[in-house]
Structure 1
Amino acid sequence: MKDTAIVAARTRVSVLLPLPLAGAYDYAVPSSMTIRPGEFVSVPLNHRELVGVVWDPPPTPDLNPIPDRRLRPISGTLPVPPMTESLRRFVDWIAAYTLSPPGAVLRMAMSVPAALEPPTPQAGWVLAPPGGNSRPRITPERQRVLDALRPGEVQAGAPLAEAARVSLGVLRGMAENGLIRPALLPHRRRFARPDPAHPGPALAADQREAGAALRAAVAARRFGVTLLTGVTGSGKTEVYLDAVAECLTQGRQALVLLPEIALSAQWLDRFRARFGVAPALWHSEVTSRTRRDTWRAVAEGEAPVVVGARSALFLPFPDLGLVIVDEEHETAFKQEEGVVYHARDMAVVRARLSQAACVLVSATPSLESLTNAETGRYALLHLPERHGGARLPAVEVLDLRRTPPERGRFLAPPLVEAVGETIGRGEQAMLFLNRRGYAPLTLCRHCGHRMRCPNCTAWLVEHRAKRLLQCHHCGHAEPPPAECPECGTANSLTAVGPGVERVLEEATALWPEARRLVMASDTLPGPAAAAEAARAIQDREVDLIIGTQIVAKGWHFPHLTLVGVVDADLGLAGGDLRAAERTVQLLHQVAGRAGRAEAPGRVLLQSFSPEHPVMRALVSGDLEAFMQEEAAMRRPGHWPPFGRLAALIVSSEEEREADRTARDLGLAAPGGEGVQVLGPAPAPLALLRGRHRRRLLLKTRRDIAVQPILRDWLARVAVPNHVRVQVDVDPVGFL
């Protein structure tokens, strides 16, 4: 009877677990517990204990619920602030929008399990109260310890010993003699609070006007999106830091998303200069202990400002007042694995659910954001001039058909001459090529065999410095063979095309006295290396920078006056919907590194197609007209942003199974007015990491929601267990 009474007194709650499950599970609440939505709880599942979150009741009750007597009870609650309603709604929203299991989205919001446990108390030392008959001897060492401790103050052992210039053994001896005693250290804020009143740099009139508009948007304490644009070097960062200052004044939290947070040393320097302290950092390079402390500090409201990569969207902010997406056009904000989402778009959703202001920032905004600004969905602020009197660089196209490089080289004579003159004046030059390694292709001169990745539809890239042929998709690497694998001819393999290593080799031959630095993801493996590279360039320890797309991401090098783009046509091939838009954005950002101080800048673009609209736009500087032309081409066919896309990527280790499932999906494809399905067809990367891939693309008008169509479509096809169908709503890439 006693057990029956306990069961009758229980209530049921839904608990969402961080697993790829269809939804929440029901659990019983023991009568001794008071449970509310958002609580982190431990629950039994099969034969193990898992941590989940008490979820909101479903909008429509289950018509056939599991009987109360069969429910397993919640094991306990965790001592951590509950997940806020806005974050729970955000998890549900992303799951519904991307057609992902809610538990898979929740897992991103619970990415640091250690943070859910209470912090371990830290012990220190405090002065013992006077008293007792014994009078311990006071040596000079002990006196220094007594002088370093104020009455009632608790200090950690190591800092106290260092301050008093004694060993930890001296402290233990003093404790045995009753001079000091152990005590728990008081809770200390993990992050210093940025000072919104800290004097920042002097702003120009247009910057002050834009900053005032952003401050007003934050002070309104309601959702709204502002697109902040401006030429490169116009001081957009300083302007949106004004919005961060207003958010701090309001007592709310701010989130800044950067596309390459591990490489943003200069951005952090600007933040410190503006607020006096560093923000909390969130990205893959921080240690597990820092991630634990940061997650907990955010949840407890002790991290006023977080700057991070796209995963920072899922941190547990209790009062988020501002979300900033810097370089909003960057494709790095797209998550391509697991739950597929675009952090820029989800940042807008997170801000809306938190009643926060959202600021999207870019010198080359995406066509999606520009269209939203033109239609009034977003407010628009524009900074037309470079800060401090600097002028935009002059851009020229070098027609490689008229002035080709010398045989076996990749730099045309006019570019070689310009670099030599720039270095000769004591200024810095940059050579840009968005291709890592030495050469993108290695082939046999005798039989034409090409070195290909065994796991992917991709050529192996030669990395001569590492003596490796490497796949940039799956990571496969092998040493260059001494003879051709196909015909057996010795020493017949040759490199075709340039990578940054090959440009470095050519630069070394041309300017042997120049101090050179390569900036690529494999030469700058983390924040420390990036910060050191930036310091060396700023301190004029480098004459020539050779870089990939990393160099386009917001660097400020005041002594850099020349940028040479080795292959300006590189991004235009492949038939990608956004190829021209991406190329003009990337090259404009790279060009913007030149002439950011008093000395004028110059940009030379090597191209076989100087008449291409991208090249004309870069030379004229009229990106607005270029984007209007892009919009005019996409609008009639209902291509984004004037229509919607969703991709289905079918993959399997068995090619026949991938083909069969793709065929079945094609036969079950939806139709109707304003709905079109393209495919199935082999993906451009038809083999990736050992899996055969097929693609189907759903295209609809802008006013048609793709999610209901996708759910119905997928429900009509039985997909074998060993076949994976990935859904990509709003794809930005088509590989």
Structure 2
Amino acid sequence: MSVPVYLRVAIPSPLRRTFDYLPPQSPPAAAALQPGIRVRVPFGRQEVVGVLLETGTHTDLEPGQLRQALALVDDTPVLPPDLLQLCRWVSDYYQHPLGEVVSTALPALLRKGEAADPGGETVWGLTAEARGLPETAFKRAPKQAALFRALLARGQLGRAELEALELSRNAVKALADKGLVSEQTRPPTPPARADDPLREAPLALNPEQQAALDQLRYQAFNTYLLEGATGSGKTEIYLQAIQAVLSLGRQALVLVPEIGLTPQTIGRFERRFAVAIAVLHSGLTDRERLQAWCDTASGRARIVIGTRSAIFTPLPEAGIIIVDEEHDPSFKQQDGVRYSARDLASVRASRQDIPLILGSATPALETLHNAMHQRFQHLRLTRRAGSARAPQIALLDIRRLPLQEGFSPAMLAEIEATLARREQVLVFINRRGFAPTLICHDCGWVAGCNHCDARLTVHQYPPHLHCHHCDHQRPLIQQCPQCFSRQLQQVGLGTERSELFLQQCFATTPIHRIDRDSTRRKNALAKVLEDVQRGDPCILVGTQMLAKGHHLPRVTLVAIVDADSGLLSTDLRGPERMGQLLIQVAGRAGRAERPGRVVIQSHHCDHPLMQLLVTRGYQAFARQLLAQRQLSGMPPYRYLALLRAESKRPENAIDFLTEARRLAQQLQPASPQLHYLGPLPALMEKRNGRFRYQLHVNAAARRDLHRLLQRLCRQLEANPLSRRVRWAVDVDPQDMT
């Protein structure tokens, strides 16, 4: 009699457990039951797709309680062993259900049971009927005419090619509705030869760059912190390191913080390398994301460029992982599985025995701390590549000065002088919209969000009030709802207001606003940057989107209108973020042969941290912050986790966290090695109609923290109070608000 086999399956569920099933009715061969394949199973009243973790001959359930799996979806694993192990690590470390971690690691279409290899890229081509038409067939529809001519010339066009040629997807649909265009499949690009990966020759390196490159070792794990001033040539080191990896027949994964950086990164990589490059970010359709994922998993794509979630991409021939702008907080997922892609890159590189490069001009304090204690190898680039020189930074004390829409006379004079030299100006204001506050001058009423503890931001294009936390919007009012006065004042600065003011001051100069609102349309950011690259005098007004990685060679003045918000922040990481942002923004100035200048307006020019940052640079500034963190017992000197709870009724969240603290203290009483703070309201207590509270757990040893959290989460999941709230554990939190 054969021993029964049970399937242990990870199912996307908030329950912190796996589920056992009997094999399908037509039992597959034992060799087919490989961990990492997808299995279609009944779950409650639904059918879901899970991932097989293991098979066994023992289960805690009675035979009558076991349900039978419906079918195996795959012949071979979609999650290879290394990624399955990474998912287990993520589940254990971040205290999150394994089924949801595994689901996060898969593209959306694979979660729904679609084939793991679509077999080629979806493209559009002309039908036989369309090929018989003359080129002048669409005189009255210029967009359709442009698409028709491009298809006649090229035969087929994919999504990326349509975007590059600025051809309309609506035109594709219009011609498809007429039966003139059809969807087709283009065969996958075969892998390029490892001995000839280049399309153009690498640039010559300066001595610092060459010394950094020479220290890289490609046959074993090591973490390299590549700290280089903005414009110092970090990307060229990435490119030459990838060249070495490709020559060994291996793949490279490059993580960038935001979608906005991927087009320019891709362009530079495509000009350099004659290999298939896969791109993974949230701006892709589900079908495009699956195609890129499969190209990488099959080895067809030799370079992968992506945002945070690309860390879960299969790399059968992994050779190197690079995390650009490693300090950026967007590498930390803030909901669902709260993982850090930077930290996962370290775990994955270690397990695959490959090098990891963390690049930044302003490393995170945790990264710098690891380098100082020689856990990471510290590579430094202290000067800019080529003939470019570091910009001069000047503080402009605006106390008692007359301000026009936030601009001092001295700042306006700096802008005017720069434009007179036919150079470009970047004005940095880290607040979008027209004004952050609408207030009644007669009674003091302030326009607030009904769903959040936040003020509504005034927008003028189009006119409306907008909450940037829950996305609530309402029309812009003309009368106070409290006293009916019409004396409503729009207080504070936003990018829209600054753009309008600068247009009035410099009427003949083009003004380009770059923020989340102005770049919503596809290719909008790329188009603006393309205009700026022409070099004509102009002013860019923007938020932190402008601070990250953009090469703007004609910008010689960076004007920072308000540098004080980070200094006054109540967030643990507020000063660190302020310093990083100011240095990153300052790095946009003087990146070519012309010298750059940075002018920072502040009411607190004599603040010790501001003085340290401007006079001695980021290294001295970061070391001072590390000393403060050590005195206060905060990361990276101790280990932190937040237990977050939210509910429409605040007492539910408070009661849950009070119970959580009681249970935690039973498991591990408070001591110098492990202490608790809370429950406390979040800095924004109410958001999107829910009240949010936190319990802080601070430990001297990482092992003690995780041992406590594992036991505590099991008890909380079974506690009746947990059903009244949404709760989550945030390990190594980056956002304390």
Instruction: Indicate whether the TM-score tops 0.5.
Output: yes
Q: Name the counterpart of 2:85.
A: 89
Counterpart pick for 1:405 among 402, 407, 413: 402
Q: Name the counterpart of 2:144.
A: none
Counterpart pick for 1:588 among 583, 607, 631: 583
Distance 1:715 1:83, change over 3 A: closer
Q: Name the counterpart of 2:334.
A: 336
Deviation track 1:206-234 (CA, whole Å, cap 9, x = no partner) reads 212222323xx22x1x3221110111100
Q: Name the counterpart of 1:657.
A: 652
Deviation track 1:279-300 (CA, whole Å, cap 9, x = no partner) reads 2111111122211211211221
TM-superposed CA distance for 1:542, in Å, is: 5.3
Distance 1:372 1:454, change over 3 A: same
Distance 1:286 1:122 in 2: 13
Deviation track 1:555-611 (CA, whole Å, cap 9, x = no partner) reads 111111000000011222232112111111100000000001111000000001111
Distance 2:431 2:22 in 1: 57
Distance 1:160 1:453, change over 3 A: closer
Counterpart of 1:659 in 2: which secondary structure? Answer: helix
TM-superposed CA distance for 1:711, in Å, is: 3.2
Distance 1:660 1:26, change over 3 A: closer
TM-superposed CA distance for 1:331, in Å, is: 0.8
TM-superposed CA distance for 1:722, in Å, is: 2.6
Q: Name the counterpart of 1:693.
A: 692
Does the CA contact (< 8 Å) of 1:456 and 1:685 recur in 2?
yes
Q: Name the counterpart of 2:415.
A: 419
Is the radius of gyration larger for structure 1 or structure 2? 1
Counterpart pick for 1:285 among 283, 286, 290: 283
Does the CA contact (< 8 Å) of 1:536 and 1:542 recur in 2?
no
Distance 1:123 1:477, change over 3 A: closer
Are 1:675 and 2:674 counterparts?
A: yes
TM-superposed CA distance for 1:35, in Å, is: 1.5
Distance 1:427 1:192, change over 3 A: farther
Are 1:544 and 2:539 counterparts?
A: yes
Are 1:116 and 2:112 counterparts?
A: no
Does the CA contact (< 8 Å) of 1:40 and 1:80 recur in 2?
no
Distance 1:584 1:278, change over 3 A: farther
Distance 2:150 2:568 in 1: 63
Are 1:382 and 2:374 counterparts?
A: no
Are 1:188 and 2:188 counterparts?
A: yes
Are 1:616 and 2:611 counterparts?
A: yes
Counterpart pick for 1:633 among 609, 622, 628: 628
Are 1:16 and 2:37 counterparts?
A: no
Counterpart of 1:533 in 2: which secondary structure? Answer: helix
Distance 1:186 1:597 in 2: 41
Q: Once structures 1 and 2 are overlaid, which stretch shifts more, 323-332 or 539-548?
A: 539-548
Counterpart pick for 2:559 among 536, 560, 564: 564
Counterpart pick for 1:207 among 206, 209, 212: 209
Q: Name the counterpart of 2:514.
A: 519
Distance 1:508 1:159 in 2: 39
Distance 1:577 1:188, change over 3 A: closer
Distance 2:188 2:712 in 1: 54
Distance 1:506 1:496 in 2: 14
Distance 1:521 1:564, change over 3 A: same
Q: Name the counterpart of 2:471.
A: 475
Q: Name the counterpart of 2:443.
A: 447
Does the CA contact (< 8 Å) of 1:613 and 1:626 recur in 2?
no
Distance 1:369 1:513 in 2: 46
Give the 5 Å matches for 1:67-466: 67=63, 70-73=66-69, 75-79=71-75, 81-114=77-110, 116-117=115-116, 119=118, 162=152, 187-189=187-189, 196-198=197-199, 199-214=201-216, 217-218=217-218, 220=219, 222-276=220-274, 279-401=277-399, 404-406=401-403, 408-466=404-462
Counterpart of 1:635 in 2: which secondary structure? Answer: helix
TM-score, normalized by length of structure 2? 0.86
Deviation track 1:320-346 (CA, whole Å, cap 9, x = no partner) reads 221111001111111111111221112
Deviation track 1:57-86 (CA, whole Å, cap 9, x = no partner) reads 69xx96735439945145123255542111
Q: Name the counterpart of 2:724.
A: 722
Does the CA contact (< 8 Å) of 1:391 and 1:595 recur in 2?
yes
TM-superposed CA distance for 1:699, in Å, is: 1.0
Deviation track 1:362-381 (CA, whole Å, cap 9, x = no partner) reads 00001100111111111111
Q: Which amino acid is the alignment partner of residue 574 of structure 1? A: S
Distance 1:660 1:213 in 2: 54
Distance 1:427 1:393 in 2: 15
Distance 1:530 1:565 in 2: 21
Counterpart pick for 1:555 among 550, 559, 565: 550
Q: Once structures 1 and 2 are overlaid, which stretch shifts more, 249-258 or 473-482?
A: 249-258
Distance 1:588 1:32, change over 3 A: closer
Are 1:53 and 2:51 counterparts?
A: yes
Deviation track 1:655-709 (CA, whole Å, cap 9, x = no partner) reads 2222322333344443123111111121111101111111111111145531221
Deviation track 1:639-669 (CA, whole Å, cap 9, x = no partner) reads 1100011111111011222232233334444
Counterpart of 2:606 in 1: which secondary structure? Answer: coil
Q: Which amino acid is the alignment partner of residue 188 of structure 1? A: P
Distance 1:497 1:187, change over 3 A: closer
Distance 1:640 1:63 in 2: 41
Q: Name the counterpart of 2:707.
A: 708
Distance 2:267 2:406 in 1: 36
TM-superposed CA distance for 1:483, in Å, is: 1.1
Q: Which amino acid is the alignment partner of residue 37 of structure 2? A: E
Distance 1:164 1:291, change over 3 A: closer
TM-superposed CA distance for 1:122, in Å, is: 10
Q: Once structures 1 and 2 are overlaid, which stretch shifts more, 603-612 or 504-513?
A: 504-513
TM-superposed CA distance for 1:315, in Å, is: 1.8
Does the CA contact (< 8 Å) of 1:651 and 1:724 recur in 2?
yes
Distance 1:310 1:123, change over 3 A: closer
Counterpart of 1:572 in 2: which secondary structure? Answer: coil
Distance 1:123 1:731 in 2: 40
Does the CA contact (< 8 Å) of 1:468 and 1:479 recur in 2?
yes
Does the CA contact (< 8 Å) of 2:14 and 2:97 recur in 1?
yes
Does the CA contact (< 8 Å) of 1:234 and 1:386 recur in 2?
yes
Q: Which amino acid is the alignment partner of residue 611 of structure 2? A: R
Q: Name the counterpart of 2:640.
A: 645
Distance 1:558 1:116, change over 3 A: same
Deviation track 1:90-114 (CA, whole Å, cap 9, x = no partner) reads 1011111111000110111123325
Distance 1:412 1:584 in 2: 22
Distance 1:278 1:122 in 2: 13
TM-superposed CA distance for 1:164, in Å, is: 11
Deviation track 1:368-421 (CA, whole Å, cap 9, x = no partner) reads 00111111111111111100021100000000115x233x52111111001000
Report the RMSD for the aligned CA atoms in angstroms: 2.8
TM-superposed CA distance for 1:269, in Å, is: 2.4
Structure 1 unaligned regions, length at least 5: 125-140, 143-157, 166-183
Distance 1:467 1:190 in 2: 51
Are 1:684 and 2:679 counterparts?
A: no
Does the CA contact (< 8 Å) of 2:5 and 2:55 recur in 1?
no
Distance 1:481 1:193 in 2: 64
Counterpart of 1:105 in 2: which secondary structure? Answer: helix
Counterpart of 2:260 in 1: which secondary structure? Answer: helix
Distance 1:506 1:293, change over 3 A: same
Distance 1:161 1:261 in 2: 28
Distance 2:119 2:215 in 1: 44
